[in-house]
C-alpha cells in the first residue's frame, strides 16, 4: 500500500495518530520495531501501545483535575487510547487503571481492523528525507534513529540520566518569607524567588538529603551516565557539607529585605538560599533551581516542605531521574509539531517532552488531527489554550522556557490563570471554562 503518512513508533502516541488518520480514510504505514526480534530495554512484549511502567492513566475526575479533563477532551475526539482504556478498565477508585494486556490487544485489534492502516514490523534507522512523517518513538528511541534526529536538529539526542527538578505552583509559595531578587541585583528585573535558610536549617536539610530514600535504578538504566549539567542534588550533597552552599544553594549576593533590620538576630544574609526560577510564560509555575533528584516522591514532598517559604508548597511536578530521549520542542518545532528544518516531519508523544501515558497519547492525537487537516487541504485550528489539549500543545510548542525545558505532565499551571476566582474554586473553574470553549473547536475538525 502506498501510504499518505508514515508513522514511526507503535506506542500510545503513534497508535493514536494512526487511528485519527486511518478512520478519516488516509493510508497509514505504522512502523514498529518490536516484532522484528528487537525491543527497547523497557518493553516486555511486541504488542502496540504497551504500558511499560504503571497501569494507571491517573485521575479520571474531569471536574477538578487536569489529567481527568484531558481524558474527557480526548474522549470527545474519539480517542482510540481512551476507548481501549474503557474496554480494559480495572477497579482503581477515581483513577483510570487498565489490564495492560487487554488494553494493548484492544488497541492493536482496532487498528488492524482499519483496511487503510498497515502495521509493519520494521526498524527505521533514519528520518525519511521526504513524505509526510510522524515520529512517535518515545523516550527510549533506538540509538540509530536518535542519532539521525540529532543530526537533523543540530543538537545531540538527550539519551542520558535526565535529572528533573521539581516545579512548584507560584500561588503556594509564602512570599512573607521568600523574596524576589537576582544575585547582586543584576539587571532591571528580579528574576528569582529566594527561600532563606539559617545554619541550623541548612545542616538539617543537608543531613536529610543524605538519609532520604532514593528510587532504585532500573537494570537498563545502570550504565547510562549522569548529564554533567544535571547532577542530582543528593549526589552533590554527598561530596561534602559545604558543596551545596557553593552550588545551587549559594547565598552570596542575595540581600534579604525581610532580614534587613539591625535588630534581626540573623542579619541580612542567609546561610544558604534555595532559588526558584519562572518555568512558564504565564508565571504560574516555578522551577527549584538545581534540585534535580532521585529521592522518592513522598520523600521529596516531606523534605522540600521543610524549606522556609515552601511549607505549604504544591507541586506541579516532582523531581525524577531516568534515561530519556526528547527534543527541545519549543526551539525545534513549529506550532503544528513540525520540525522547522524539515517540515514534512512531525513529532508526537513523549519525544516532544510531554510526560505520561495520557499526555503522550494526546500529543499523538493532535499530530494525527494536524496531519489529517493538512492532507485535506484545510487550515489547522489549534485547540484553545484554555483547554487541556491546548494548554499542553502551547507548552510544548512555545510557552515553556526553552533553556530549562523538561518533560511535563498536564497540570493547571499550564492554563491561562483565573486570578479573579477564589483559590478553592479555581480547579472547577478551569474545567468549566475548558468544556465550554472546546465545543467550537471540535466542530472545526475534519470529519471522520
pLDDT, tens only, 344-397: 999 999 999 888 899 999 999 999 999 999 999 999 999 999 999 999 999 999
Domain contains 201: yes
Asked if the model's pLDDT at residue 323 lies above 70, the reply is no
Q: Is 9 annotated as a binding residue?
A: yes
pLDDT for 110 = 98
- 129 near 339, Cβ under 8 Å? no
- Among residues 274, 247, 367, the alpha carbon closest in space to that of 5 is found at 367
Mean per-residue pLDDT, 94-106: 88
User: What value does the mean pLDDT take over residues 273-297?
Assistant: 87
Q: Does 11 carry a binding-site annotation?
A: yes
Can you tell me the distance from the alpha carbon of 145 to that of 331, in angstroms, rounded to the nearest whole number?
Answer: 20
Same domain, 185 and 248: yes
Q: 135: buried, middle or exposed (CB in 10 Å: 19+, 13-18, 0-12)?
A: buried
Residue 393 lies in a domain: yes
The residue among 322, 350, 385 that closes a domain is 322
Q: Tell whether 448 is covered by a domain.
A: no
Secondary structure (3-state) at 134: strand
Domain total in the chain? 2
- The answer, yes or no, to whether residue 93 has pLDDT greater than 90, is no
Instruction: Give residue-wise pLDDT tens across range 23-74.
Output: 999 999 999 998 887 766 656 678 999 987 667 899 999 998 999 999 999 9
62 and 42 share one domain: yes
Do 132 and 177 reside in the same domain of the chain? no
- For residue range 194-239, list pLDDT tens digits in order: 999 999 999 999 999 999 988 776 654 555 545 445 578 998 999 9
Q: Check which CATH number belongs to the domain holding 87 and give it.
A: 3.50.50.60
Same domain, 129 and 273: no
Domain membership of residue 104 as a residue range:
5-159+325-443
- Within this chain, do residues 155 and 211 fall inside the same structural domain, yes or no? no
Task: Produce one character per residue of 351-362: b if its CB has 16 or more CB atoms within 10 Å, e if not.
Answer: bbbbbbbbbbbb
Q: Is 25 annotated as a binding residue?
A: no
Tell me: do 94 and 51 sit in the same domain.
Answer: yes
34 assigned to some structural domain: yes
Mean pLDDT of 419-429: 92
Q: Do residues 178 and 43 share a domain?
A: no
Alpha helices in 217-256 (DSSP H): 233-237
Selected residue with higher pLDDT from 159 and 103: 103
Q: Consult the annotation and say whether 13 binds a ligand.
A: yes
Query: Given pLDDT bands bounded at 50, 70 and 90, which one contains residue 192?
Result: confident
Domain boundary among 291, 322, 353: 322
Q: Say if residue 112's pLDDT is above 70.
A: yes
* Final residue in a domain of this structure, among 322, 349, 366: 322
Q: What DSSP letter does each residue of 259-327 carry, written as one string?
A: G-STT-TT-SS-SEEEEEEE-BTTS-EEEETT----B-HHHHHHHHTTSTT-TT--EEE--EEEEE---
CATH classification at residue 254: 2.40.30.260
Digit-coded pLDDT (tens) for 336-347: 999 999 999 999
Amino acid at each position: 500500500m502506498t501510504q499518505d503518512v508514515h508513522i514511526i513508533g507503535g506506542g500510545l502516541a503513534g497508535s493514536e495518530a494512526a487511528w485519527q488518520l486511518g478512520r478519516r480514510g488516509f493510508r497509514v504505514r505504522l512502523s514498529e520495531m518490536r516484532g522484528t526480534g528487537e525491543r527497547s530495554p523497557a518493553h516486555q512484549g511486541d504488542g502496540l501501545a504497551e504500558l511499560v511502567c504503571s497501569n494507571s492513566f491517573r485521575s479520571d475526575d474531569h471536574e477538578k483535575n487536569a489529567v481527568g479533563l484531558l481524558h474527557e477532551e480526548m474522549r470527545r475526539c474519539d480517542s482510540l487510547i481512551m476507548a481501549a482504556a474503557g474496554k480494559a478498565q480495572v477497579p482503581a477508585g477515581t483513577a483510570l487503571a487498565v489490564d495492560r494486556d487487554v488494553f494493548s490487544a484492544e488497541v492493536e485489534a482496532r487498528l488492524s481492523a482499519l483496511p487503510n492502516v498497515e502495521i509493519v514490523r520494521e526498524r527505521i534507522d533514519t528520518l525519511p528525507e521526504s513524505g509526510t512523517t510522524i515520529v512517535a518513538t518515545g523516550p527510549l528511541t533506538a540509538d540509530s534513529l536518535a542519532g539521525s534526529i540529532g543530526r537533523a536538529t543540530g543538537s545531540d539526542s538527550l539519551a542520558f540520566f535526565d535529572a528533573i527538578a521539581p516545579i512548584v505552583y507560584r500561588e503556594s509559595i509564602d512570599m512573607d518569607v521568600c523574596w524576589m531578587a537576582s544575585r547582586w541585583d543584576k539587571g532591571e528585573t528580579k528574576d528569582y524567588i529566594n527561600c532563606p535558610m539559617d545554619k541550623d536549617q541548612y545542616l538539617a536539610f543537608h543531613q536529610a538529603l543524605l538519609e532520604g530514600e532514593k528510587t532504585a535504578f532500573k537494570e537498563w538504566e545502570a550504565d547510562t551516565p549522569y548529564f554533567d549539567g544535571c547532577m542530582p542534588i543528593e549526589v552533590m550533597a554527598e561530596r561534602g557539607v559545604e558543596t551545596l552552599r557553593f552550588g545551587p544553594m549559594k547565598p552570596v549576593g542575595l540581600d534579604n529585605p525581610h532580614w534587613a533590620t539591625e535588630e534581626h538576630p540573623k542579619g541580612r544574609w542567609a546561610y544558604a538560599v534555595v532559588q526558584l526560577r519562572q518555568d512558564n510564560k504565564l508565571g504560574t509555575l516555578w522551577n527549584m533551581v538545581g534540585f534535580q533528584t532521585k529521592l522518592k516522591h513522598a520523600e521529596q514532598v516531606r523534605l522540600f516542605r521543610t524549606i522556609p517559604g515552601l511549607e505549604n508548597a504544591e507541586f506541579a511536578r516532582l523531581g525524577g531521574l531516568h534515561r530519556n530521549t526528547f527534543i527541545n520542542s519549543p526551539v525545534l518545532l513549529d506550532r503544528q509539531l513540525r520540525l522547522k528544518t524539515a517540515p514534512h516531519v512531525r513529532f508526537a508523544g513523549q519525544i516532544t517532552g510531554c510526560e505520561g501515558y495520557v499526555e503522550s497519547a494526546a500529543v499523538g492525537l493532535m499530530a494525527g488531527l494536524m496531519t489529517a487537516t493538512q492532507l485535506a487541504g484545510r487550515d489547522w485550528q489549534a485547540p484553545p489554550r484554555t483547554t487541556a489539549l491546548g494548554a499542553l500543545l502551547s507548552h510544548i510548542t512555545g510557552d515553556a522556557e526553552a533553556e530549562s525545558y523538561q518533560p511535563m505532565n498536564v497540570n493547571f499551571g499550564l492554563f491561562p490563570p483565573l486570578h479573579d476566582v477564589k483559590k478553592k474554586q479555581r480547579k472547577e473553574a478551569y474545567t468549566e471554562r475548558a468544556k465550554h470553549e472546546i465545543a467550537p473547536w471540535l466542530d472545526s475538525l475534519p470529519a471522520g
